[in-house]
Structure 1
Amino acid sequence: EVYVLALADERRGWRLLPVIEKAESGEEEAVELLNRRLPGFARLDPPRLVTELPRTGLGKIDLARLREEIAKRTG
């Protein structure tokens, strides 16, 4: 499963960061292939791989926890 976070960026306004749960081989290459076809402003950052996407009690992705986890990893 993949979730794409929109993160604030001083230069571009926003940047797109895919977060991939339990990545299978080829998913990172798929992002690279997609980026080759997109204009510069729309390209995705290299994906972050996670063992499990954080979920709420209803089973939805817990966006606040996901942002917090990604912030810890990226400094």
Structure 2
Amino acid sequence: MNISKNEQRVLHALAQGGRILYERAANGRVTEVICYTRDGLILTNCTLEIFQKLRRKRLVESKCSSPYRISDKGRRSVRSQLDNR
């Protein structure tokens, strides 16, 4: 599966215990996302577009309206270290 560098960074932060908080519009669509690392810092690489790609690929999931976290498929897809090319 092809995963971009920014998607890989977000998945890596989530794999270490981060979470994605979201806001929904009246029609139920997600309109804003904020990715927090396990230390409580905000990851600026996580945009709405990146979030939607991760959701479409089923790499992140939310259970019972909780914040989005990495899924089992996401854990298998994330590389242990980013390439520095």
Structure-1-length-normalised TM-score: 0.28
**Higher Cα Rg, which structure:** 1
Q: Which has the higher helix share?
A: 1
Higher strand share: 1
Scaled by the length of structure 2, the TM-score of the pair is 0.27
